[in-house]
Structures are given as C-alpha cells and as structure tokens.
Chain A
Amino acid sequence: MVKDLYKRYGDKAVLRGVSFEVEKGKVKVIMGPSGTGKTTLLKCIDMLVKPDSGKIWLEDLELTDPRIDVSEARRKIGFVFQEFNLFHHLTAIKNVMIGLTKVKKLPRGEARAIAERSLLKVHIDRELWDKYPAQLSGGQKQRVAIARALAMEPMIMLYDEPTSALDPQLTREVLEVIKELAEDGMTSLIVTHEVGFASEVADEIMIMIDGRIVERGDPRSIIYDPRREETRKFFNKIMKIGDELR
C-alpha cells in the first residue's frame, strides 16, 4: 500500500501525492504518458529511490521507516526492469541463483532446484540455462530477469515497462509469461503501454499524469469510457501509434 508519496528531483516534482493499494493476489496496471513519474514510483516502492515524503507498507511492514533494514525488505519485492539488467558475467541460471545463494544464503543444490523451477515457469528451456545474457534474445533476457525476481518468492512483483525495449514479436512471449503468473495469483503492479495486455490482465488500471493518479477503474470503463479529457487524449494517442505500427 502506498500513501501520499512525494518525490522531487531538483526543482521538478516527479511524484505529487500518490496513494493506492495493491491487494493480495490482484494485478494493478499503471498507464500514462512517458516522463510522468511511473518509473520513479516503482523505484520508490522498492526503496531504490528514497521518497521525499509519504509512506509505503508491505502488508504490516513500513518500508519508509528509517529503522528497517532496506535490503531485507527489498528481497520481498520482485523488480523487473525495462532494460532487463541481467548480470552480464553470469549465465542465465546463475543469474537466477545468485540472489538465493548470496542473499537468502541457500545451499547451492537447493538454489539450483529453485532456479530451474523458476526458469521453466517462464518457459526458458534447459539448453538456454548455461548461456550468457549476451547470447540471449531480448525476450529471453526479460524472461530470465522475471525468473530471477520470482525465485526470491516475492510478495509482490513490480514490472517497469517490461516490454518497451523489445520488438513487437518478442513482446508477446514476455507478456504471456506475466499474464500466466498473474493468473496464478501473483500480486503485481505493472507499468506498461500495452493497452490490450492491460485490459486482459488488470483488475484495475490507474492513469498517472504529471505525478498524480488522475483516474482509476476497471479496464473496460477506463479505456473505453474515461471520465477525464486527458485520459481520453492519452488513449487516443497511444492507440494511434499502435495503429501506425501495425
């Protein structure tokens, strides 16, 4: 749950009082024009960026409490980056294992077993396990990154535009995986521009413009019947771009 989050960079206010909640097992999607603080919001939730004010809870744990161990808290939150950020020097399976062995301190055998399960869950087959990131396609990289976050058994997954660095055909395989995980009951908060995907997967869509959530609701009403003019404009714009791409 996020309450009243504020963040500024220099004299630019990026988050201007953001509040919402992702209930257990639910999938929430944040959409909005680029440069409106969506990535910053996700980074704040994982405490990768410190918010200026406001509070964040992970169930009963207040993440913004300065007394807590932040790295302890972060491992309970899975983060999937736009640019994948796989560790360049580790093979696919070792990328998934390293959090288990070095953070959770699991023995190698156990870590490997969990890693294998996570990789299979995101449809990364055995022959790719020992490949280095540079030898994988973008879609494969992103799925390994999802497996890496998943293996830590997070309470929630945060996806920061997980497909915006991918070609359209690779986008599909990644979205498919995210959807499957969501259907399995993975609590998720997703920032994306993929309208079709959002409408399929989301329990609620939130529209973020200029550091504020201006509108929220179930996918159908938000996409086809938005109450606010700026939401309507935003959807018109991205659908048009989508049409041009097709």
Chain B
Amino acid sequence: MSFWNEFFSKLYIGVLTTLQLLAVAIPSSIILGIFIGVLRVYGGKIEKTLANLYVHIFRGFPLLVTLMIMFFGLADIGIRLTPYWAAALAIIVCSSAYQSEYVRMSILSIDEGQSLAARSLGMKRSVEILYIILPQAFRIAFPGIGNEIIYMILYSSLAYIVGVNEIFSVAISVNSIWFKPTEVFLTTALIYLAMTTMASYGLKKLERKLWIPGFETDVKR
C-alpha cells in the first residue's frame, strides 16, 4: 500500500474516533457546565462550595494532568477507565468548569427585574431558572461556550496520550512507519483547521439564529 493510501484510510478511522469523542464530550460538558453554573449562583452553601471547588481544581489543572489522573491515577484506586472514557471524562470535567464560569457570569448579568417578574407571576424557583433565566443566560454565554467547543476540538488531540486512536495518534503511528513528518503533520494540521473553521462557521450561524432583538450577545473572549 502506498503512503497516502495507508495514511488516508487510517485517518478516516481517526477522524471518526475524534468525532465520536467530541459527540459525547461537547453536549455533556455544556449540560454539566450549565448545571454547575446554576449551582454556583442558586445553590445552598454546601453546593456552592463544592461547585466552586470543582471549578477551581479543573480550571487550575492542565487538561493533560486531569487526563493522566483519569486514566492512570484512578486505576490506582481500582477505577479502570478505557482510554476513550478517560479522555471523554477529562475533557468533560475540564471544559464544564470553564463553561460554568460563562454561565455564572451570564446569570449574574441578568437584571433583577426578570426574577421579580417571574416570581410575581407565581413561578417557583425551578420554573423561573428553567424558563426565564437560562434561556437568556444561554444566549449571553453562547460566544464563550462556542469558544469552548473550538478548544475541545483542539484539545481532543491529547487523547492520543492515553492511547485513543484519534487523528493525532494516527499521524504519530503513520509517521513512525514512513517517516514523512511534513506530509503527515501538515495534513493533520489541515484536518484540524478544517474542523475548527467549520465549527466556528456553524457556531456563528447558530448564534445568528438564536439572536433576539435587544440581546447583546457580543461578549468578548
């Protein structure tokens, strides 16, 4: 088999694996991020403290450290995760910590009147959060969450380190056989570029679709 044939057929598997990883990591981290963000604003003292601790740790640890702990560290105490799940979990906890910060800031930026009006209609806290606060907070947090999605695409390449057969680990293994670093790593870079470019294009479109007159969603990075 020629170099390009082998490279591309392996890359195909690698891309699928990366997408599989992201298909789990992106939605889970968003949901978890919103949940933790809500806890940090509305939770009781204990919930708040725990949620803040979670955010401090997983924002403070490099993703790589979290990944090593998930895969090698947890095995020490009898929790053996597959490479795929160790990587997925590491990405989820790390990214949800960052996203919860966007969600928290967005909730805090919503004016008090929204909550007053919701309560004056007889809404319970849970209804108020779900139908009044979060739809607005999500829109405000959207650019930040979008950035996080891009980062997740980029940092999914670290899954190689625990042995997930994603794009970058395909590149490494093909390069170790053929030693054509220029072809291999340039192609790999282009694939990631294509993925991040398409993602940011899609996110822009989605942002426009979610846009509502009078909403300032133009939050900076």
Contacts and interface: CB of A to CB of B under 8 A. Distances in A.
Contacts of B120: 46, 48, 74, 77-79, 81, 149
Do most interface residues of chain B lie in helix, strand or loop, or is the interface mixed? helix
Given A132-B213, A134-B214, A87 B124 contact: no
Contacts of A72: 122
Contacts, number: 80
Contacts of B214: 88, 132-135
B136 A89 contact: yes
A86 interface: yes
A71 interface: yes
B197 interface: no
Interface string A93-116: 000001100110000000000000
A87 B132 contact: yes
Interface in A201-225: none
Contact of B122 (A85, A87, A152): A152
B40 interface: no
A132 B212 contact: yes
B113 A74 contact: no
A84 B121 CA distance: 13
A189 B141 CA distance: 39
Contacts of B132: 87, 98
Interface in B203-221: 212-215
Interface pairs A-B: 4 shortest CB-CB: A134-B214, A75-B122, A85-B113, A79-B120
7 contacts: A74-B122, A87-B136, A88-B214, A98-B131, A102-B123, A134-B213, A145-B117
Interface of B: 113-114, 116-124, 127, 131-132, 135-136, 139, 212-215
